[in-house]
Amino acid sequence: MAFETVIYEKVENIAVIKLNRPKVLNAINVQLTRDFHQALAEAALDAGVKGLIIKGEGRAFCAGDDLSENPQGMQVEDILRHVEVLQDTTRIMLNMEKCIVAAVHGYALGAGCEWAMSADIRIAAEGTKFGFPETNVGAGVTNAGTKLLPLLVGIGRAKWMVFSNERIDAHTAEQWGLVNRVVPPEELDTVAMELVKKVAANSSLSIKLAKRQLNYGTYQDYEQQMEMEAHDVVLTLTGMEAAVRARAALDKTKQK
């Protein structure tokens, strides 16, 4: 299946999904959200796929929402529809019976960091920056990020990351539990592939059941969390402040 903004490949029994908007650091727009959702669904339904790697083309994993396609002016129903598709990517990853490894480099910001957190295991290249710019641009955290982030790094660190907008580097992310391992950039793809192949060589049924059990005990009630997030995203994005802040952030980015 061909996608406009995602590259989908199979390497033996491993699916590799690459976010493919490199000119904008794989920033998320409506098309990327839909393509990523469909690619994940295809991998989930393919009995020949035993594991997945998610990565980004170019200089970054994913720099978060594309502010040049800001949803201000959209109807509430359209915002909710977009958020639902966005959150469905998290649902697919959390519920998928296969191991998902996120190979992260460059930047993993906002929803990009949330997509990485939805994977089972995260490998980061040295130099990667993680952060949540939502409160700076007048938006809200989604993709169950308000549940996943505190579970990984603790509630205090989660609040600091979201409230301050400050980015942390890969080694700090490893110390805090946001990523499992940090490797040199040139080793990222190799280490991710070796890891997912090692998992895929084990019993598919055992992996399926273990993931279901671990996720149930850890992530139960994430649906209620995503419902609250969707409500709050609409609340932020339909106000005037979000439009002003998003425009200022975009102008600042263009000046760099």
H/E/C letters for each residue in the chain? CCCCCEEEEEECCEEEEEECCHHHCCCECHHHHHHHHHHHHHHHHCCCCCEEEEEECCCCCECCECHHHCCCCCCHHHHHHHHHHHHHHHHHHHHCCCEEEEEECCEEECHHHHHHHHCCEEEEECCCEEECCCCCCCCCCCCCHHHHHHHHHCHHHHHHHHHHCCCEEHHHHHHHCCCCEEECHHHHHHHHHHHHHHHHCCCHHHHHHHHHHHHHHHHCCHHHHHHHHHHHHHHHHCCHHHHHHHHHHHHHHHHC
pLDDT of residue 251: 66
pLDDT of residue 94: 92
Active site residue 114: yes
Catalytic residue among 114, 126, 174, 187: 114
pLDDT (tens digit, 0 to 9) for every residue of the chain, 256 residues total?
679 999 999 999 999 999 999 999 999 998 999 999 999 999 999 999 999 999 999 999 999 888 777 555 567 677 777 778 888 999 999 999 999 999 999 999 999 999 999 999 999 999 999 999 887 776 777 888 889 999 999 999 999 999 998 999 999 999 999 999 999 999 999 999 999 999 999 999 999 988 888 887 777 766 666 666 666 666 665 555 555 655 665 566 666 5
Task: Of 64, 59, 65, 53, give the one whose Cα is nearest residue 18.
Answer: 53
Residues 6+ apart with CB under 8 A from 241: 138
pLDDT of residue 198: 97
Catalytic residue among 4, 42, 57, 134: 134
| Dist CA 256 CA 248 (whole Å) | 13
**Domains within the chain, CATH numbers bracketed:** 6-202+223-255 (3.90.226.10)
| Dist CA 232 CA 162 (whole Å) | 15
Which tokens in the block code for residue 162?
């979201």
Active site residue 77: no
